[in-house]
């Protein structure tokens, strides 16, 4: 028995993955590191109203880190996920789940190890080849967490840094991917890249220690994948190239210790943006994102890389497409709806997301980024998908791409935890710019 209570459910099916959780932790920590002035302190560590002296985004990130520590109880044990798709037996709240994994209805759930071998208890198996994809994510989130939380939790920060070092060493020893495990359905996170995870982990180890060997490791890993492969592609498997934005490239592009490498990775960032921009040519909305499952997550990744590249270089080449893709998320798209629940406040936003909280109890999941538009061919191929209500966007659907504000459409209208977390950087940027504009008006 292992106590792995805590953390976040991946989406509305209540499975939990280190893959997405560690990325969500890192995204929030990175957002805070870039724009600390954008994040307030209105709630305590448990989400109750009232300041606790710690920015709310750090409270949220620590919630995730506390769980990741439980998923890595010692230097030899790394867990990858909690539960599998046997959970998909009903649309309920988490505390109402009555799934029986063999210990009784509503009792304990299985915990899967990070494994270099293919996993899957039933007909379907993943294609795992190593451990580095997950251990790199552990290491980067632990290391950045240690740096940003040390002021508030010094002992916890020391523990996180030790775990970061252990995870990075183990990741180097086990190159390859540790994919999530399927159950009775063929769906899992089919992550095929791992060098980006180890690249980011190496950069965070470099930031933590100042040791040049970590910078060299990061450069080496980064050269193995100069451009994240989805950028410019027409399609990809589910979460095949993940995380969708390689922040390790940014860290190498901004560092000053190796100027040759800095210039190299600035070029790599530009190349990825150029691939997407070329694919967008001729599109009325200037959209070059492939409409695969969770296309909105890719859109956020793209505008994040656009913004970071512009801040690094001052090059305006991608400002137009960055603006178009930002506006796409906020409603400038064929359906005329924002892709963020409840935002903007008086706009057209998803009102019937694939969420038991909203559908059964009318509790809004404000701020949640839904999956987003998907190729019609993918929508038609998914198991158990349907529309519960008349399609209000029927006049705006096409033979190529669809989006539905319908709780039964788990492919386009389900808020995801990692996608939502990835928004924090760009919204932090917008908030900071608004505050700076107001300040300049006062002056």
pLDDT score recorded for residue 330: 98
Mean pLDDT of 296-316: 99
Q: With respect to residue 411, please indicate whether it lies within any of the assigned structural domains.
A: yes
Mean pLDDT of 236-252: 99
Decide if pLDDT at 88 tops 90: no
The answer to whether residues 179 and 275 belong to one domain is no
Share above pLDDT 90 across residues of the chain, in percent, rounded to a whole number:
94
Share above pLDDT 70 across residues of the chain, in percent, rounded to a whole number:
99
Q: With respect to residue 369, please indicate whether it lies within any of the assigned structural domains.
A: yes
Decide if pLDDT at 90 tops 90: no
Mean pLDDT of 58-80: 98
* Residues 184, 125 contacting (CB under 8 angstroms): no
The answer to whether residues 200 and 276 belong to one domain is no
The answer to whether residues 198 and 331 belong to one domain is no
0.95 surpassed by pTM: yes
pLDDT score recorded for residue 441: 66
The answer to whether residues 171 and 277 belong to one domain is no
Each residue's pLDDT tens digit, 163-206: 999 999 999 999 999 999 999 999 999 999 999 999 999 999 99
Dmax over CA atoms of the chain, in Å, equals 66
Decide if pLDDT at 443 tops 60: no
* Residues 406, 9 contacting (CB under 8 angstroms): no
Cα dihedral 175, 181, 182, 184 sign: positive
pLDDT score recorded for residue 48: 96
Residue 385 is part of a domain; what is its CATH number?
1.50.10.10
pLDDT score recorded for residue 97: 87
Residue 359: pLDDT band with limits 50, 70, 90:
very high
pLDDT score recorded for residue 122: 95
The answer to whether residues 12 and 111 belong to one domain is yes
Mean pLDDT of 284-288: 98
The answer to whether residues 40 and 120 belong to one domain is yes
Q: With respect to residue 233, please indicate whether it lies within any of the assigned structural domains.
A: no
Mean pLDDT of 87-106: 89
Q: With respect to residue 361, please indicate whether it lies within any of the assigned structural domains.
A: yes
pLDDT score recorded for residue 11: 87
pLDDT score recorded for residue 440: 62
Residue 437: pLDDT band with limits 50, 70, 90:
confident
Whether residue 226 is preceded by a cis peptide bond, meaning omega within 30 degrees of 0, is: no
The answer to whether residues 256 and 216 belong to one domain is no
Decide if pLDDT at 24 tops 60: yes
Pick from 16-20, 100-104, 372-376: least confident: 100-104
Compute the half-sphere exposure of residue 72: CA atoms within 13 Å on the CB side of its CA: 27
The answer to whether residues 144 and 265 belong to one domain is no
The answer to whether residues 268 and 200 belong to one domain is no
CA 81, 85, 88, 89: dihedral to nearest 10 degrees? -120
Mean pLDDT of 265-287: 98
Q: Which residues pair with 74 in a beta bridge?
A: 77
The answer to whether residues 316 and 172 belong to one domain is no
Decide if pLDDT at 439 tops 70: no
Q: With respect to residue 230, please indicate whether it lies within any of the assigned structural domains.
A: no
Structural domains counted in the chain: 2
The answer to whether residues 218 and 244 belong to one domain is no
Domain extent at residue 171:
1-225
Kindly report the average pLDDT of the chain as a whole number.
97
Q: With respect to residue 235, please indicate whether it lies within any of the assigned structural domains.
A: no
Of 225, 251, 267, at which residue does a domain stop? 225
Residue 13: pLDDT band with limits 50, 70, 90:
confident
């Amino acid at each position: 028995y292992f106590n792995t209570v805590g953390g976040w459910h991946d989406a509305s099916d209540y499975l939990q993955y280190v893959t997405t959780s560690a990325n969500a932790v890192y995204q929030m920590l990175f957002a805070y590191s870039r724009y600390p002035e954008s994040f307030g302190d209105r709630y305590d560590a448990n989400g109750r109203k009232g300041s606790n002296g710690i920015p709310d985004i750090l409270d949220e990130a620590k919630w995730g880190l506390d769980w990741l520590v439980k998923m890595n109880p010692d230097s030899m044990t790394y867990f990858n996920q909690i539960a599998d798709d046997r959970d998909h037996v009903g649309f309920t709240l988490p505390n109402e789940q009555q799934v029986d994994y063999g210990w009784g209805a509503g009792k304990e759930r299985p915990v899967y190890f990070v494994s270099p071998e293919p996993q899957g208890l039933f007909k379907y198996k993943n294609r795992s080849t190593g451990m580095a994809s997950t251990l790199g994510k552990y290491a980067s989130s632990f290391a950045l967490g240690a740096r940003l939380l040390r002021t508030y939790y010094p002992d916890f920060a020391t523990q996180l840094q030790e775990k970061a070092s252990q995870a990075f060493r183990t990741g180097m020893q086990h190159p390859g991917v540790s994919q999530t495990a399927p159950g009775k359905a063929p769906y899992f996170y089919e992550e095929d890249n791992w060098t980006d995870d180890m690249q980011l982990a190496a950069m965070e180890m470099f930031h933590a220690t100042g040791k040049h060997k970590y910078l060299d490791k990061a450069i080496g890993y980064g050269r193995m994948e100069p451009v994240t492969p989805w950028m410019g592609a027409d399609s990809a498997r589910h979460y095949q190239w993940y995380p969708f934005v390689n922040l390790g490239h940014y860290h190498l592009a901004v560092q000053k210790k190796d100027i040759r490498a800095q210039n190299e990775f600035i070029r790599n960032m530009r190349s990825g943006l150029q691939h997407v921009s070329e694919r967008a040519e001729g599109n009325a909305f200037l959209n070059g994102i492939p409409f695969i499952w969770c296309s909105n997550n890719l859109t956020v990744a793209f505008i994040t890389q656009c913004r970071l590249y512009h801040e690094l270089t001052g090059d305006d080449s991608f400002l137009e497409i960055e603006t178009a893709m930002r506006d796409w998320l906020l409603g400038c798209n064929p359906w005329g709806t924002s892709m963020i629940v409840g935002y903007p406040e008086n706009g057209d936003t998803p009102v019937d997301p694939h969420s038991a909280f909203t559908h059964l109890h009318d509790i809004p999941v404000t701020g949640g980024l839904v999956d987003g538009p998907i190729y019609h061919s993918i929508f038609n191929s998914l198991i158990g998908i349907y529309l519960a209500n008349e399609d209000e966007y029927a006049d705006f659907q096409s033979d190529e791409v669809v989006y539905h504000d319908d709780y039964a459409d788990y492919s386009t209208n389900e808020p995801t935890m990692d996608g939502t977390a990835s928004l924090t950087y760009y919204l932090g940027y917008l908030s900071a710019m608004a505050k700076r504009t107001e300040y300049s008006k006062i002056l």
